[in-house]
Amino acid sequence: MAGNKDFSPAFADDQWTLVERHFEKEHNRIWETLCSVGNGYLGMRGSFEEGLDGYSTGGTFINGYYENSPYRYPEGFPGYAENNQTILNLADTRAIRLVFDDGEVYQGLAANKAIVSDYSRRLELQTGLLTRELTWQSPTGKKIHLKFERLVSFDLPHVAAVRLTITPQSDCGAHLTIASLIDYQIRRETSHQHDPRNAAALENELVIEGQEVFPEGGALLFQRTHHSQITAACGLRDRLPNHPETSKVPVDDRQEAVIGTYYTVPLKIDQPIILEKYMVYCTSLDVRPDNLRHKVLDELRAAYTSGFAELCTAQSRILRTFWDHANITLDGDDWTQGAIRFNMFHLLQSAGRNGQTGIPAKGLTSQGYDGHYFWDTESYMLPFFLHTDPQIARKLLEYRFNTLDHARRRARDLSHPKGALFAWRTINGEECSANYPTGTAQYHINADIAFAVKRYFDVTGDKVFMLDYGAEILFETARLWFDLGDFIPTRGNRFCLHSITGPDEYTTLVDNNTYTNLMARENLMFAAQIARWMQTEHLERYEQIKNKKEVALEAHEPADWQEAADKMYIPEPVNVGSEDAPHPVLPQDDLFLYKPLWNRAADNIPLPLLLKHHPLVYNRYQVCKQADLILAEFMLGHLPIFSREQKERDFNYYEAVTTHDSSLSRCIFSIAAAQLADPADPNDPYLNKALAFYRASATIDLDNHRNETRNGIHAANMGGSWMGIVFGFAQMRTHDGLSFCPLLPPGWTAYAFQVYYQERRVQVQIGPGRDSSGYPICTFTLTENKPNQPPLVIRVCEKTIQLAVLNESVTIRR
Amino acid sequence: MAGNKDFSPAFADDQWTLVERHFEKEHNRIWETLCSVGNGYLGMRGSFEEGLDGYSTGGTFINGYYENSPYRYPEGFPGYAENNQTILNLADTRAIRLVFDDGEVYQGLAANKAIVSDYSRRLELQTGLLTRELTWQSPTGKKIHLKFERLVSFDLPHVAAVRLTITPQSDCGAHLTIASLIDYQIRRETSHQHDPRNAAALENELVIEGQEVFPEGGALLFQRTHHSQITAACGLRDRLPNHPETSKVPVDDRQEAVIGTYYTVPLKIDQPIILEKYMVYCTSLDVRPDNLRHKVLDELRAAYTSGFAELCTAQSRILRTFWDHANITLDGDDWTQGAIRFNMFHLLQSAGRNGQTGIPAKGLTSQGYDGHYFWDTESYMLPFFLHTDPQIARKLLEYRFNTLDHARRRARDLSHPKGALFAWRTINGEECSANYPTGTAQYHINADIAFAVKRYFDVTGDKVFMLDYGAEILFETARLWFDLGDFIPTRGNRFCLHSITGPDEYTTLVDNNTYTNLMARENLMFAAQIARWMQTEHLERYEQIKNKKEVALEAHEPADWQEAADKMYIPEPVNVGSEDAPHPVLPQDDLFLYKPLWNRAADNIPLPLLLKHHPLVYNRYQVCKQADLILAEFMLGHLPIFSREQKERDFNYYEAVTTHDSSLSRCIFSIAAAQLADPADPNDPYLNKALAFYRASATIDLDNHRNETRNGIHAANMGGSWMGIVFGFAQMRTHDGLSFCPLLPPGWTAYAFQVYYQERRVQVQIGPGRDSSGYPICTFTLTENKPNQPPLVIRVCEKTIQLAVLNESVTIRR
């Protein structure tokens, strides 16, 4: 699946460290993506402190920081999104330049004539450090060893740090000048002309609002966007612990667009020189603009005072807790084991957790998709957080709640007098989708968010959240569905949804997309249920929401929602076989199964269709970009319409017509195949399918699938790789209590994970070995308990177990 | 229906002259549109020679002259149209300024303090002259009478002329300075933000390439577009017949952007001063750029030599022939009588007739819709020319033939390996539609053009045209349908068309739009038929087309087309009634009748929905912008599926859901209502409906419907007003010989028209009076005959008559 055969990353340290050992300029941008470090607020690509012109896409991103730019449509219509928002590449505080006293400049890996040896770049998933080492021998014979260490602090969200250790290994002259800089030249890759997945190209996006160089070393820089008028401030302080009294020369070079400090230190063979850089980022979204300078100085002081070693200690401590809760172990497939951890680590690095931000499609590793948040936050990534660190899941939902006013305005823009329509893609909550057939028409985002609210409530039982945030989200989304749909006389007065787009973006503007209708039904039902519950048990809060000026719920509405849910139209299966050999398949929408099949053989260039054909071409065919009905058959797989036979027919049918041109697709097909596998049959063909889909999906970024990794990670697919283990192979479900039905794929000796559920954590171990019936042997252990409560009931296939006491463990073998 | 109550145009001279008698600045732009003069090549709005800043949208347009501008899509996809083309407002050669010798400037109707009396502006449909008269009394007491006459020559397509007669009625000083100028300042109205019907805003669209002022008076100017690199040259020569020896001062004022000549002439009470301006326009599309100057000088010389009076004579002569063939007389409804003639006159002024141009949506009266040609050229306007001046109809079809290479490239852009897809909107043949759901997806344009080829052939029998042009159009369009559609197993292997948009632009991207499927079937059938005919009778020419490199027809293809036609899927009627009282209605497409009805009462602002709502809103409902199925029921009304009962149910159903937000709608509803009326019943409600729709449609521009006339005429609707008489009330059909079934609407005493058919012309007179069965008395007269041929057979309702001899006349009364 690798886009480039020479590119071969590997894991070390028992699959805890991603290592690049052989440097290739052409692969540098891929490694920069993979080695990005971040903390959900701040992200930095794994680019070199010394730069690498022409082979690097450096990047420093703050989640939620954006520039607005007005859309100009060649043919515009009312209600079209008015502005785009784009995440910006901020000034780079990690820049370092080294100059020897004969004037020779250390050129790092850019130099053709220098000899580089002992190279490695390592992303350490347990310490959270990005390290890089190399020995550099200049054409004039100077030889030095360099070690760079970098972290973006999980403890202090505004803080990052770099430690450089320079060890001369030959006579390199008497002194070395070290420039520790903030580089504010904006570097950006030109966007590919026809690839809508890249970021919009903005010009002169950031103005320098102010800058300061500290006499004691370090600097401050303020950048402001033109349109959105948000200021980002960054600060830098340095420490040279072995040379505290060295000379400092302030730098403010507007030509080169750098500020900072030159340090000149004596050089001696084998005597290491250490530079510690403490970096801080903060924006006027975080604090009042007039407090920004103060805040940055405070944060800088805190980071500088704790010191690099202490930051590392805190980083390891936080990651230890994270892995304690999130780690998945997998025996028998090292590459996939590494990939799973790598993916979880990046999820942790990508998720906003301040209630004002979500998870950008590319995490904080690039400007791809403009740094927007999509539906996949809730549908692909939130489950991971929900079952490992539910507080982050809550914050992601709070973010949606905080955009409700925008969503209400958006609903009015689309002529809905009531309700809220969440933005298909956005940073601050305003709709940024400029192509409505694959954007705004995807109303299902409303149901996806409501479903996440339900999932969160099912798993946490967090009533405070439901009353404070969840209920209003549920009500406003339910109202939108009720206004959007209609009871259709020619359909026996069933409730239908028209001119919408489901998850599959190759089939747009359809009627009765099965996924959407089913998910809207869940939304309507659950909203009605929560309304009834609140009317009974939390009437005051119910009245509060009801009477909120911007809500103004009418008394009959919850009953309306229930009626629409009860009468929701779900397309019937269509016979795609013959009259003699009927083969009823559930349609993706009213007409999907009446379209022609795409002749895939004639289309052998491995490009996504969306980069090759006009939408009118693939829209015409039974060809899917991604799972759509199949996603519904996973998310709502328990519904009676999804009998095993139906699921099997549908899986095979849709597998044949799906291109997986979306990275959201294969992980779902893996889960859907797992649903069909017999747990007792180690050679079940569906199990093999599930595994093949799983491996292809879990390693998309590591394998540089379609040579896209340079443009950033696929964050949602990373969430899919967690779901593939827990919802796929272990078949965990939570819609009706906690249940599992674990599979053990061929080649995997055993795997284990832990999940949060109802104030408890359960360790689930599948394998090694199978019992006499052929079922994988499974062990369930209560690793965290809820005091003074009845035992936790878990259904495991047809059995039920109970775990009552901390560390109690049940092994199931027949 | 008038958008503005104070606006009340009227006809004089037996409904042959449109007259403005009372000048209102606020209405000037409306009158400028109505009083545009043009000849299909050159068009000039009826603006004042002396200007009227702030209340005028002057305009001089050359059909087919355009600037390119690249589209920038906020989210672009492969195959999206790459460039827009925009018709440009060229330098204004008709500018005149008058300065009295005390320095006072004649300010025309702009001056607040001057007194204007005896004002009139008249568009004379018989002479083709636009005249304007007024008496102007300045604040200082000068009083002059002015008469402006203007024509754009039907005889010399590059030539226009103005004659100004100035008669002092008081002492106005000893001399008058007359400036006769070319004004090249670009004036353009800002486009309304959300109205996609206006032209794109271009900046610095024209560069001045060169200019000359003639010492003997007059000037030349060369303007070139930036991107399309087309040069337009204009020239001006003046004659002052009463003052041949007057002093001439050349003007070249770059500040004011004018060139030309100052003439100073003596002023005497009651002694008229005459200025004749001869104006020429020509472009590098007409002649080689290095011949352009020469060509303009030649044309100027020709115009100047013939003189204004001679140009007027030729203009009248040509119009006499035109009206001899085209005139419709209508007794009993003067306003409609005038409107019909006005509409035909504008059609004549709008139609390109050089085989390189079509008919812009707004004629040559504005830059609306960027001056693009659409499907309505063939479907709404070509029939008028076909039956009055078939040579123009032929040239319009030749234009399409001449864009076949662009249409083939467009088909490839949309992944069709064969065939041609005509541009939805274009000037030079390249697709300019930037919104594919209401643009490129309207594949029906292919069938509309093919249908026009069939219609042209049915009416003219022009085999040379068919062999030279028609056949290749038919083959290439048929191939596109065959590649676009598919035999669908779940539809019993019927041939279906998916993801296309029919004529109704409020319902987009549908499957099996009934209109499109039916019209595509005609296209496929007729192409197969012509292929068979050529294989039998014109094999050599057939082989020539077949072997043309860019065609490369395979032997099996005509049989494929026939098969697709034979198996074409046509949606079945849907019961919109109850089970007890079934009411089967033909659906507009697969799903139209399963969508909700639009609650029209809730939407009482008289704006087109497209200016109020996001497309996702109206797309969701059974709400039509215009006739769609109803258009098919007119164009293919003879098909067995369209029984009278079916037509009646469908008419009533679709009438209730149609907004007529498109000006293409009402004329078709008028014809469809006429189809349902009983010819013998003068009070048939459908006849009343037909009349109401007809009157509302025929006067859209004259009544300043929705205050839109300022933005140009609705050319296609003007064609619809001709169709409404001939195809509507007289119910002429030509698909199977010539037939009529005339109706006589209430209030109309009689009406008459003449049609060209098979090298003959027939005068048709309906009324006055009805026969004893109640049928209108009709007289058919052969006014032009085909020598040595069998008599012309005409079916009139259930009767058949024959006309054999020139001037033979048959009156039908029962």
Min CA distance, A604 vs chain B (Å)?
14
> Using an 8 Å Cβ cutoff, are A768 and A752 in contact?
no
Give mean pLDDT, residues A343-370: 97
Q: Containing H/E element for A168?
A: strand A159-168
Instruction: List A146's β-bridge partners, or say none.
Output: A134, A166
Tell me the pLDDT band of A110, cut-offs 50, 70 and 90.
confident
Contact across the interface for B596 and A508, Cβ inside 8 Å: no
∠ CA B636-B637-B640 to the nearest 5 degrees? 95
**Which range among A692-701, B1-10, B180-189, B620-629 shows the weakest confidence by mean pLDDT?**
B1-10
Rounded CA gap, B61 and B73, in Å?
Answer: 28
- Shortest distance between the Cα of A556 and any Cα of chain B, in A, equals 21
Contact flag B78-A436 (C-beta cutoff 8 Å) = no
Q: Give the count of beta carbons closer than 10 Å to the beta carbon of residue B415.
A: 18
* In the predicted structure, residue A231 carries a pLDDT above the cut 50: yes
| Mean pLDDT computed over B385-407 | 98
Quote the pLDDT of residue B731.
98
- Give residue B604's pLDDT: 62
Q: What is the mean pLDDT of residues A643-663?
A: 97
Which pTM does this prediction carry? 0.95
A79: nearest CB among B433, B614, B621: B614
pLDDT at B346: 98
DSSP code string of B301-360: HHHHHHHHHHHHHHHHHHHHHHHHHH--EEES-HHHHHHHHHHHHHHHHH---SSS----
Q: Which of A252-266, A736-750, B603-617 is least confident?
A: B603-617
- What was the pLDDT predicted at B5? 46
- Residue range A712-746, pLDDT digits in tens: 999 999 999 999 999 999 999 999 999 999 999 99
Residue B594 to residue A434, Cβ atoms within 8 A: no
The full DSSP string for A56-109 is ----EEETT-EEEEE---SS--TT---EEEEE----EEEEEEEEETTS-B--GG
Question: pLDDT per residue over A13-48, tens digit each?
Answer: 999 999 999 999 999 999 999 999 999 999 999 999
pLDDT at residue B2 greater than cutoff 60: no
Q: Is the pLDDT of residue B397 over 80?
A: yes
Task: Count CB neighbours of B742 within 10 A.
Answer: 23
Rounded distance between C-alpha atoms, residue B251 and residue B261, angstroms: 5
Question: Predicted confidence band at B607 (pLDDT cuts at 50, 70, 90)?
Answer: confident
- Are A766 and A731 within 8 A, CB to CB? no
Residues 6+ apart with CB under 8 A from B366: B33, B45, B57, B59, B199, B711, B712, B713
Looking at chain B, which residue has its C-alpha nearest residue A498?
B620
Max intra-chain CA distance, chain A: 91
- Coil/strand/helix, residue A570: coil
Cβ separation A596–B498 shorter than 8 A: yes
Of chain B, the percentage scoring pLDDT greater than 70 comes to 96
Q: What is the pLDDT of residue B107?
A: 86
Q: Compare CB distances from A440 to B200, B508, B616 and report the shortest one's residue.
A: B616
Question: Residue B695 has what pLDDT?
Answer: 97
Distances in whole angstroms, Cα of residue B421 to Cα of each of A256, A269, A635, B509: 53, 75, 43, 17
Residue type, B266: P
CA of B476 vs chain A CAs: smallest distance (Å): 19
Instruction: Calculate mean pLDDT across residues A111-134.
Output: 93
Instruction: Kindly indicate the confidence band of residue B110, based on its pLDDT and cuts at 50, 70 and 90.
Output: confident
The residue in chain B having the minimum alpha-carbon distance to the alpha carbon of residue A196 is B75
Q: Could you report the per-residue pLDDT of B240-282, keeping only the tens digit for each?
A: 999 988 999 999 999 999 999 999 999 999 999 999 999 999 9
Nearest Cβ partner for A619 among B196, B509, B593:
B509
d(CA A250, CA A258): 11
pLDDT band at B63 (very low <50, low <70, confident <90, very high): very high
Size of the A and B interface in Cβ pairs below 8 Å: 171
Would you call B486 and A596 a contact, using CB atoms and an 8 Å cutoff? yes
Shortest CB distance from A610 goes to which of B77, B84, B613? Answer: B77
- Closest to B499 (Cβ–Cβ): which among A574, A611, A616? A616
Query: Which range is least confidently modeled, A94-98, B188-192, B546-550?
Result: B188-192
Mean pLDDT over all residues of chain B? 95
Which neighbouring-strand residues pair with A98?
A178
Residue A594 to residue B590, Cβ atoms within 8 A: yes
Per-residue pLDDT tens digits for B709-758: 999 999 999 999 999 999 999 999 999 999 999 999 999 999 999 999 99
Q: What torsion, rounded to 10 degrees, do the Cα atoms A239, A243, A247, A249 define?
A: -30
Residue A305 dihedral angles phi and psi, to the nearest 5°: -70, -45
Q: What's the pLDDT score for residue B190?
A: 47
DSSP code string of A375-400: THIIIIIHHHHHHH-HHHHHHHHHHH
A216 is catalytic: no
Measured CA angle at B215 (ends B213, B220), to 5 deg: 25
Q: Which of A78, A84, A596 sits opposite B612 (nearest CB)?
A: A78
Q: How far is A296 from chain B (nearest CA, A)?
A: 36
- Tell me what percent of the residues of chain A surpass a pLDDT of 90: 92
Residue A603, classed as helix, strand or coil, is: coil
- β-strands B17-20, B10-12: how paired? antiparallel
Give me the torsion for CA of B374, B380, B386, B389, rounded to 10°: -80
**Separation between Cα atoms, residue A473 and residue A468, nearest integer Å:** 10
pLDDT computed for residue B787 by the predictor: 85
Q: How far is A26 from chain B (nearest CA, A)?
A: 28
Residue in B440, B593, B617 nearest the CB of A415: B617
Which residues of chain A lie closer than 8 angstroms to B594, CB-CB? Answer: 488, 490-491, 496, 511, 590
B611: how many CB neighbours lie within 10 A of its CB? 15
Average pLDDT for chain A: 95
Residues in A closer than 8 angstroms to B611, CB to CB, are 78
Q: Best residue in B194, B490, B597, B598 to probe A by mutation, most A CBs within 10 Å?
A: B490
Q: At what angle do helices B666-676 and B644-657 cross, to 10 degrees?
A: 150
Give A614's contacts in chain B (Cβ within 8 Å): 77-80, 413-415, 436, 440
- Residues of chain A with Cβ-Cβ distance to B490 below 8 Å are 574-576, 593-594
Give percent above pLDDT 70 in chain A.
96
For chain B, how many residues are written? 814
Cβ-based neighbour number of residue B254 at 10 Å: 10
pLDDT class of A607 with cuts at 50, 70, 90? confident
pLDDT at residue B114 is higher than 90: no
User: With the C-alpha atoms ordered B797, B800, B804, B805, is the resulting torsion angle positive or negative?
Assistant: negative
For residue A80, give how far its alpha carbon lies from the nearest alpha carbon of chain B (Å).
7
Of B595, B608, B659, B664, nearest to B634 by C-alpha is: B664
Which chain B residue has the Cα nearest residue A369? B75
Q: Which residues of B are catalytically annotated?
A: 505
Q: Report whether the peptide linkage leading into residue B768 is cis, meaning its omega lies within 30 degrees of zero.
A: yes
A491 CB neighbours in chain B (<8 A) are 594
Residue closest to B283 by CA, chosen among B246, B219, B349, B235:
B235
On chain A, the residues whose CB falls within 8 A of the CB of B620 are 484, 498-499
| Residue of chain B minimizing CA distance to A603 | B415
How far is B555 from chain A, CA to nearest CA, in Å?
22
pLDDT-derived band of residue A4, with 50, 70 and 90 as boundaries?
very low
Distance of CA B43 to CAs A102, B157, B183, B464, B716, Å?
77, 10, 16, 32, 17
Which of B47, B296, B316 is closest to B183 using CA atoms? B47
Q: Evaluate whether B15 touches B343 at the Cβ level (below 8 Å).
A: no
Q: Which of B498, B579, B598, B612 is most worth mutating to test chain A (most A CB atoms within 10 A of its CB)?
A: B498
| pLDDT, tens digit (0-9, with 9 covering 90-100), for A176-213 | 999 999 999 876 554 444 466 666 666 567 899 999 99
No. of helices (H) and no. of strands (E), chain B: 19, 31
Give the residue carrying structure tokens 């006159």: B345
Q: Is the separation of the CB atoms in A378 and A393 below 8 Å? A: no
Quick check: B490 and A574 CB within 8 A? yes
Confidence at residue A370, expressed as pLDDT on a 0 to 100 scale:
95
Residue A581 exposed, middle or buried by CB count within 10 Å (0-12, 13-18, 19+): exposed
Specify which residues B180 forms β-bridges with: B96, B261
Quick: pLDDT tens for A92-109.
999 999 999 999 999 888
Please tell me the distance from the alpha carbon of residue B757 to that of residue A393, in angstroms, as a whole number.
76
pLDDT of residue B4 exceeding 60: no
Query: What are the beta bridge partners of residue A636?
Result: none
What is the structure's pLDDT at B706?
82
Q: Exposure of A305 by Cβ count < 10 A (0-12 exposed, 13-18 middle, 19+ buried)?
A: exposed
